[in-house]
Amino acid sequence: MSETLSCGVLGAGSFGTALASVLLENGHDVTLWCYEPGHAAEVNAEQRNTRYQTGFALDGIKATDDLETATKGKDLVLFVSPSHVTQGLAKAVAPHLDGTGLLVSATKGIESTGETMDEVLRMALPEHLHGRLAYISGPSFAFEVLGHKPTAVVVASRDEAIAERVQRAFATSYFRTYRTTDVVGVELGGAVKNIIAIATGLCDGLETGHDARAALITRGLAEMSRLGAAMGASPMTFMGLAGMGDLVLTCCGDLSRNRTVGMRLATGMTLDEVTASLGGQVAEGVRTTASTRDLAKKLGVDMPIVEAVWRILYDGKDPKGTVNVLMGRPLKSERE
């Protein structure tokens, strides 16, 4: 059993709910910060998330809509906010952080200006907090975590002692945690896999077959690894939970929002219609496609699948025609 911690979870969506439940399971004191009006009062009254993953009890949860209450004096603060609001959220909570607690991010995405969540948090938070940062990633659907299905994730921090403390804080009989110091690799794997999942959903929606899906996953891993190499990540990270593990889950699982985006686009729905159909849930891959494409161009990294998804999402290209373009690219070595 790990040390008992007071924890603030910033984000009451599906995954925030799942990670809050893991912390509760470990006997930690958990406060869940809710952004939507009235949501905190509902959670406190019902002891479950009344708007996301409603079928699971959160016995002992305390909810609040006040950031200071959620973060001041906490031993662990967990960011599970959409990537595009993380910077503003971090700036808002910074005055309440005393520099002794663990700061953990489970957000998967790349900012519109090209920064990973690690870079976003390091820009938004004062320097004396940077050594407290850690990141959780890996194949983990919220529904399955809440249902206590066996799950394994990885915790990354530049300080291995911090990674180990976070690892212990979240480890349960059904939620296994590994650790690494490769923050860049873990962050990139968690972000780029969502783009490849959109591509896979498009192909599944077009009924291109299992061969196509396997090819997309494999070549998507190659693109992810190339970007990682250009940014100094370890190649082995992409063979692990934050790379291949999360990629396979998000590309093949029916619970994947990003795969769902691709499948619905393949039916002829517009991006706005698909986004509205998600019922308030966020598919991070939509925004991350644009930011990753820009980052790849800046670094001179060839990412044809990312480029193809961008053309479908933002340039109005026909999904079937775009698949044909990918298949017709010049022949080359598999390692290129």
Boundaries of every domain in the chain: 6-181, 188-327
Low-confidence stretches of the chain (pLDDT < 50) are 1
Calculate the CA 171 to chain-centre distance. 19
Q: Return the sign of the alpha-carbon dihedral for residues 306, 307, 311, 317.
A: negative
Considering 193, 297, 298, 332, which one is annotated as catalytic? 193
Q: What's the confidence (pLDDT) of residue 336?
A: 76
Virtual CA dihedral for 216, 201, 290, 153, nearest 10 degrees?
Answer: -80
Radius of gyration of the chain (CA): 19
Q: Is the pTM of this model over 0.85?
A: yes
H/E stretch holding 133:
strand 133-137
Q: What's the confidence (pLDDT) of residue 20?
A: 98
CATH of domain 6-181: 3.40.50.720
Q: What's the confidence (pLDDT) of residue 328?
A: 85
Q: Give the separation between CA 297 and CA 310, rounded to whole angstroms.
A: 13
Q: Give the separation between CA 187 and CA 228, rounded to whole angstroms.
A: 9
| Structural domain 188-327, CATH architecture | Orthogonal Bundle (1.10)
Q: What's the confidence (pLDDT) of residue 335?
A: 80
| Active site (annotated) includes residue 320 | no
